Structure 1
Amino acid sequence: MELRHLRYFVSVVDMGSLSKASALLLVSQPSLSQQIAAMEYDLGVPLLLRSAAGVKPTDAGTKLYRHARIVLRQLQELEADIANEGSGAVGPVAVGLPTSIASVLAVPLVERLRKDHPGVKLQLFESFSGYLNELLANGRLDMAILFRSSDAPGISVRPLFTEELSVFGAPDIGDINAATCDLALLAGVPMVLPERTNGLRVLVERAFSEAGVALNVTCDIDSLPVMMKLVRNGDFATINSSGVARAAEIPILARRLINPVVKRTVSLCQPTGIPQSAAALAAEETIRTLAREHAAIWDKASD
């Protein structure tokens, strides 16, 4: 198997289509199909599930994709390190940020890396934590900030800080001039929250259940900007990081939840067993520095 075969396969999986991948790679579709078929023959297993909607990797294809991503990224880092010997940290680094964290750290991260490490090419992914965890497991990311406090198989977890959650909106509930809101006051209040498998949703549902408070989720929305727009329109409330309110360009009613206080650990997560490049080490150091510098937005930044 040659490196070009790995590049072909990664492109096909990323695009979800042989025709789109062939256009990107400037390779004819019949030739690309033959290359993939040859890989399947050599490995003795099917790598792609083909349908009218496109292609998806099989279980074996997913394993190949994950390893191919790592190999290709390490090759790219090797070429950059050799070409820029003595020039400091160089090469690509892929970082994932949840939307709520990106609202605070994304711009400073881009600016600080460009200033302190101009040879580092940052690839920044912003999404909900569940998708970022998938990208991290598949080798698409060098690191991601996720809401977890303990290691997982193949993933190291290093806490950055702990954040408290706030209720956004609900102007008719409690004292809008107060800094806090008792969770019991939110019984039956129409809420918009991420879908039920989302970590934030699980945390909120657990807090309401343990407090014996009725949670009224009227709509599942996997978009922080859309949720905040609905909150500003006045028909719904939501629950999210207190840092979102403090970093918001447009003021929004937000009060920290109490009785109970609802907290979550925010950690920098990285794959284990893969040597970190100089670019990845520079990005990690920068993220930790920025977390400390922005500690006032959250409760406490870890060393």
Structure 2
Amino acid sequence: MSAFNEAGVENLFVVHSLRYFLQVAESAGFSKAAAVLNVPQPTLSRSIRRLEEHFKARLFDRNGRGALLTEAGESLYQHGKAILLRLEQAQAEVAEISNNPAGSAVLALGPVAGKVLSSVVAERFLKEVPNSKLRIVESYTGFVLEWVANGRVDIGLLYEDALTPTLKGERLWIEEPVLVSARTRPLAGVETIPFAELENIPLILPGRPHGLRLRVDEVAAELGMRLNIVLEVDGLSGILDLVRRGVGCSILTPPALYSYKYDGDIVLTKLTDPVISSTVVAVTSKQKPMTNTVKTLLQIVREEARKVRIAGNVEAGGRRRSDNVEVLQPRLIPRSHAG
């Protein structure tokens, strides 16, 4: 066998063993990793031993409770993840170039972002990438963040406040929530209300881990006040119906109201002292390859988010901030004008 072929075989072995190595590291033990990989434990042990010989370094400290990475192992773990991710990306891109119809992407977003983006993004995706598949998942910010972090989804739309230090998001728009109440309630003629006065108002809010609920709870804690939450409802239509009936008030973001068929039954009151603002961002998973299909999906999300910003500001006289991300203003569509 030539030296070139020997090197090629050795490199293939290293790539194969890296997969085993990463699983042992993540399982913190050989027996659990062997079960996950569905390979005999002796085979796994031999593979790791050969990898240690290849790098001339001990990669694990083995004890009766499992196996922990050494300093050298920690270094290889970081490089190994990056190497395998690049290989997966190359494989996916080559498949797409070969017109492989199996190209796919998964988009996760919150209920409000889903309300304004899901259908238009899906429609454009089908037209622009007809041979690829798109899956859209709607859930709360906490779950979207988890799915992006572990690679379950390619792109997640969530509130910037929820991001961890290792994740960075591309800003799409800023939301300033408002108090929504029935016209029959005493707030009908009030334009602004200090946040502290919410203590005496019955509220209908989504449960945790909804991003807006987390933000509202955070502000209440900072002010040392207890909110009067009479109902937790995880659904925009349910919340708005209860508000309209006068059961309680709610705190909602402008996009949640964009398709509400208004006939004078609810009023919006701006929250002050402090003004709450939340930034919606798009985050791509570092655990999955950025294929051409995913890149196209991200561009569609960017463009449709821009349309949302324009609609939310031109029609309501919105303003710009220094970072050039518009603050969406609340607007209500009269029932007679609703489609």
TM-score, structure 2 normalization = 0.60
Question: CA, structure 1 residues 282+249, in 2 after alignment: closer, same or farther (shift >3 Å)?
Answer: farther
Q: For 1:43 and 1:167, how far apart are their aligned partners in 2?
A: 59
Return the match for 1:288 from 284, 299, 302.
302
Report the equivalent of 1:278. 292
**Match for residue 266 of structure 2?**
253
Asked whether the equivalents of residues 174 and 185 of structure 1 are also in contact (C-alpha less than 8 Å), the reply is no
2-side partners of 1:193 and 1:72: how far apart? 45
| Greater Cα shift, 246-255 or 284-293 | 246-255
Does the Cα contact within 8 Å between 2:145 and 2:158 map onto a contact in 1? yes
What is the match of residue 251 of structure 2?
239
> How big is the shift at 1:222?
3.2
Bigger strand share: 1
Equivalent residue, structure 2, for 1:91:
103
Structure 1 residues 246 and 108: alpha-carbon distance in aligned structure 2, compared to 1, 3 A threshold = same
**Separation in 1 of the partners of 2:217 and 2:35?**
48
Q: Distance in 1 between matches of 2:164 and 2:92?
A: 26
Task: Determine which structure has more spread, i.e. the larger CA radius of gyration.
Answer: 2
Identity level (%)? 26
Residue aligning to 1:104: 116
Q: Which residue of 2 aligns with 1:128?
A: 140
Q: Distance in 2 between matches of 1:250 and 1:131?
A: 31
- Structure 1 residue 114: deviation in Å? 2.2
Deviation at 1:244, TM superposition (A): 0.8
Residue in structure 2 matched with residue 12 of structure 1 by the alignment = none
Distance 1:217 1:206, change over 3 A: same
**Aligned equivalents of 2:140 and 2:198: distance in 1?**
24
Instruction: Specify whether residues 37 and 247 from structure 1 end up closer, same or farther in structure 2 by C-alpha distance, changes over 3 A only.
Output: same
Q: Give 2:154's aligned residue.
A: 142
Q: Which residue of 1 aligns with 2:76?
A: none
Query: 2:130 maps to which residue?
Result: 118
Tell me, which stretches of 5 or more residues in structure 1 are unaligned? 7-33, 45-65
- CA pair 165-282 structure 1, distance change in 2 beyond 3 A: same
Give the corresponding residue for 2:325. 302
Bigger CA drift: 149-158 or 131-140?
Answer: 149-158
Separation in 2 of the partners of 1:148 and 1:189? 28
Q: Is the 8 A contact 2:203 2:228 kept in 1?
A: yes
**Equivalents in 1 of 2:37, 2:117: separation in Å?**
44
1:51 corresponds to which residue? none
Q: What is the Cα deviation at residue 161 of structure 1? A: 1.5
Counterpart secondary structure, 1:176: helix
Counterpart of 2:255, as a letter, is G
TM-score (normalizing by structure 1): 0.67
- 8 Å CA contact 1:92–1:279 kept in 2: the answer is yes
Task: Letter of the 2:96 partner, please give it.
Answer: D
Q: How far did 1:270 drift?
A: 1.3
**Match of 1:282, as an amino acid?**
T
2:283 maps to which residue? 269
* Shift in Å, 1:283: 0.9
Q: What amino acid sits opposite 1:91 in the alignment?
A: G
State the one-letter code of the partner of 1:292.
Answer: R
Q: Label 1:179 to 1:106 Cα distance change in 2 as closer, same or farther (>3 A).
A: farther
Secondary structure, in 3 states, of the residue corresponding to 1:222?
coil
When the two chains are superposed, the root-mean-square deviation of aligned CA atoms in Å is 4.0
CA distance in 1 between partners of 2:173 and 2:222 (Å): 24
**Counterpart residue number, 2:170:** 158
Structure 1 residue 152, shift from structure 2 partner = 2.8
How do 1:167-182 and structure 2 match up within 5 A? 167-171=179-183, 173-176=185-188, 180-182=192-194
Whether contact under 8 Å (1:166, 1:254) holds in the other structure is: no
Structure 1 residues 237 and 210, CA gap change in structure 2 (3 angstroms): same
Is residue 2:96 matched to residue 1:81?
A: yes
Once residues 125 and 73 of structure 1 are traced to their aligned partners in structure 2, the CA distance between those partners, rounded to angstroms, is 23
Q: Tell me if structure 1 keeps the 8 A contact 2:182–2:249.
A: yes
**Alpha-carbon distance between aligned partners in 2 of 1:72 and 1:220, rounded to the nearest angstrom:** 46
Of residues 192, 204, 213, the one that matches 1:192 is: 204
1:119 deviation in Å? 3.3
Give the Cα separation in 1 of the matches to 2:87 and 2:233: 35
